[in-house]
Structure formats: C-alpha cells, structure tokens
Structure 1
C-alpha cells in the first residue's frame, strides 16, 4: 500500500476518533441548559466531561497537523476556501474551553452556560456542513483555488449534513450522560436520548441516502446501513437500560458515518465540481521522504497517546451523583 493511501486512512481514523470522543462533548454542552434544571445538575453535567474534554480535542489538532504535513495542497485549499466556517468553529471551541475552565470561578454562571451551549452547537453543526461540502465537491480552478463564496457552502445538502451531525452528537451526549449519571438526571437523559435517536434516524438517514445516491459507492452502502443499525441499536439498548451498550452502539454509528464519508471521498481529498481540477491523494501529497518520516513518528507515539487517553477514561469511569462527584 502506498504511503499516500496510508496517510489518507490515518487522517480518516483521526477524524473518526475526534467525532466519537468530541461528539459526546458537543452533545453534553448542547444539553446543559436542557437537562440542567438547577445548579447541582449543571455542575454534574459539566463534571461528566471535565476530565476528558481537552484530551478529546487533541484528535482535532493531530488531524489538522497530519493534513498539513501529509497533504499540504489539501490543507491550503481547505483552510482558504472554508475560512469563515473554520474560523467560527475555532472561536466556538475557544469560548467553550474558557467557559468550562472559568465557570466555577465566576459569581454569575449564566453567561458561561450560554458560551458553553453555543460553543458546542456551532461546531456540531458546522463540521457536518464542511464535510458534506467536501464529499459533494466544491468549485476549484486549475490551480486548486476555491472560487466559490460562503453562500456556495450553505447549499441544502450541506445544511442537511450539518443537521445530521448536530442531532447525532446530541444523541451521543444524551447517551453519555445516561451512562455517567444517576437518579433523575439520568432518567431525563434517557428520555431525551429516545427523542434524539428518532431524529437522528430520520435526518441522518436522509443525509446518508442522498449521499449514497449522489456520490456513493457499493461498499459504502454497507457502512451507511451499519450507521442506521447502530442508532437503532442504541435506542433499543436504552429502552432496556443498557447504558453502556447504547453508548457503544451509537459510537459505532458515528464510526460508520465517518467511514461512509471518507469511503466516498477516496482517492480524492477535495473533489472539484470539474473533476479535472480535483485534489487527489497523489497530487495533494508531500514527498515520499516526508511521508516516511511521519509514518515512523506515528508508529512510535500513537500507542503512547492511546494508552494515556484510555487510562484517563478508566480512572474517571465512575458515575456522578447530583453533587457532581
């Protein structure tokens, strides 16, 4: 297997890890004003992601860095053409991080809670918009420069993709809270997960069907079907009180959605509306020497990062009570 293909797969894995782990962070942040009826509840909701949220964001940093090093043409075209939505995502992530760290140091928490809500809502929606446009294709010229506008990115298909990731992450957050909390807060999270699951099946199913009919491949029909089965399995497990299985099933659904998108993308990394101008794993990649060095670095350090993050989740695996402990 060529190193360009290897790094395309590694970047897909990094985005998959980011969506699975940061996805429930986004969902928890969005659900903060919905499930947090009083200050004790809100503290518990935030405590559920307190030890892990910053580690989950590392996946995004590594995915961006890997894209810059392995496919610089892809990175340049993506970050210039998608500048506004990516800038909004960056601002939202900064606001969310500040809100988590400084909420308990302020006399008034209302402003920080709003920052947490919108700092989670915007990325959850805009990541879907961005990836829907990447799979659909964007206007590029012969020099691989983006020639569209912001309105070009806000097409109906991309907006549907944004809604799909939004409801999927809300479901993921509700299932995570059901897994990590007890009592009335858990009961409300379970109830909301049932409603969010039905919405995810409807909106996400519509998005994946349109994706498969317009840009799909035979193999990715399997992953699209697995995504639907994962959400349905999460709903079934939730009704039986199997919180861990429900969360795992929805994680499988997120993995399957990401596999569907990247599977339909390859060998392109940034399809153009004119196929002759598309960026591929070949014409967007770095030199073989750069890819070789990066591969050895990844082989050495990736297991260490995974082991550390796995240890963190193991240490903070206990359910939280209403006091946030």
Structure 2
C-alpha cells in the first residue's frame, strides 16, 4: 500500500473515532446535565449517584433515562437510599421534558412537595411514596394534565384533598394512603361531603387508594366510574351506606374501619367478596351476617350484611 494511501486511511480512522466520541459526548443535553449535577450536589453527592460523572454522557447515568431521539432526560428514578437527605431540590422542576419522576423509599427525604414540580408539564408518572414528606397536598398538582399515576402514599402529608385533583383528565391510578389527610372531599363538585372530584360517572380512574387517613364523606352519595378496578378506603371516618349501584361494577373494594351503616348490596356483578374488607374496629360496629347460599349457578355464597355503627 502506498504511503499516501496509508496516511489517508489513518487520518480517516482518526477522524471517524473522534466524531463518534464527540457525538456520544453530545447525546446528553447540556442543560439537563447541569440540572442533574445540581440535584446531585443538593443531595450531598450520595454514593448511589456516583455514576453521575460530568465527563460522561448523562444518558448513561444510573437512575436516568433519555429520549431515544431528542436525548432529553425523560425519567429520573432514585430508589431506597437512606443516605439521601434533605428536601426535594427545586432544580427537579428544570428537567422540562421529564415524564417519570420517582423518589421512592428515601426515609430522610423530608419537607414539602417541591412547588417547581408544577413546571413538569410532560410528567405522566409522579411517585414520591415511602418518604418523610410533610405539609399539605399541593393544589398545583392539578396543573399536571398528563399525569396517569400519582403516588404520594406513606408520607406525613396533612390537610384536605385539593379540588384541583379533579382537573387531571388522564389520571388512572391515585394513591394517597398512609398519610394524615383530613376533612371532606370538597363540596364544590356537586355533592356536599361527596366525592365527585375523585370519582363520578365520567371519570376514567382505575385505582384509588385513600386508606389510613382521616377523611370524612358520605359514601352513599358517591357515583363510581365503570373504569374503577380497585378502591381502598379502609381506616378513615367515612359514613353513610354502600351505594346499590356498586353491584354493577367489578372492582376490589375495602371499606373496613369506617363509620358505615346499612346493608351491603349484592347481585349483578357483585357476587362474592372478602368479609375482612368490611370489618370495623373500636367496638363501633355490629355486623349481622345473613348467609344466603346460591347454588343455582354454582356460584360462591352471596351475603346480605348489615353494618351498624355509632356515630362519634
């Protein structure tokens, strides 16, 4: 091979590999990388984020995922680390293309839900569960119109459920359990003490977990969407009776440890259930069970259950 040809091949190879190196380095959006490094600094540079090296492409960092074509950061998932402490950094709100934000099982993550999260207009999944967050449930969550999942369970959130949550048209799964939420569901949604804002015939929500709070509303006035598959209201102060219309629905229901009275309806699609879903503590309820065995279609036994409780 002629010397000039060898030199040309060498130069071509060198340029090729340099271009690849440059393109890899530039995959991560510089603005996103800067935000992530600020988040790492705010969390006191924990070991779990040790892969966040400013010399490396941030799309390859642990807990980070980027869009395959735009290379903007679309997912930030940090799990189970007791070395991460302090509040949610406000810089989180600067990841403007974020679709998934999960800060889960960080026992030393405290303070309020960061207001800058309201800037994440593309957010579809927000999971801040199993932390030590406090303060009220912020109304700005209602501005996240693309949310399909909201999980704030296992925190120390207080106050009432804001009416703005009714403005989440795509919300399919809502988990507010294991907090200290109080009061009624806002009555501005048509029924005093009702729960129009979370339920309602036109909603598309599939999973709702409000268990182990201090909520008070009349269950008998609630209209449930046919899309609902799971409803957990246990350990609250909910009163009234279970609507007859529930017999037309097919979902898992737990209303134990509340202040319900009246008959549990059966029929339609509600042919069997777990009795533990209707238990009530504190000696405030008397359960009278009338077992009616149905053998005509070889089904499970159906039950007529009357629940009486003392109102306090």
Q: Is the TM-score greater than 0.5? A: no
Q: TM-score, normalised by structure 1?
A: 0.20
Larger % of strand: which? 2
Name which structure has the greater RCO, CA cutoff 8 Å, separation 6+.
Answer: 1
Larger % of helix: which? 1
Structure showing greater Rg: 2
Q: TM-score, normalised by structure 2?
A: 0.21
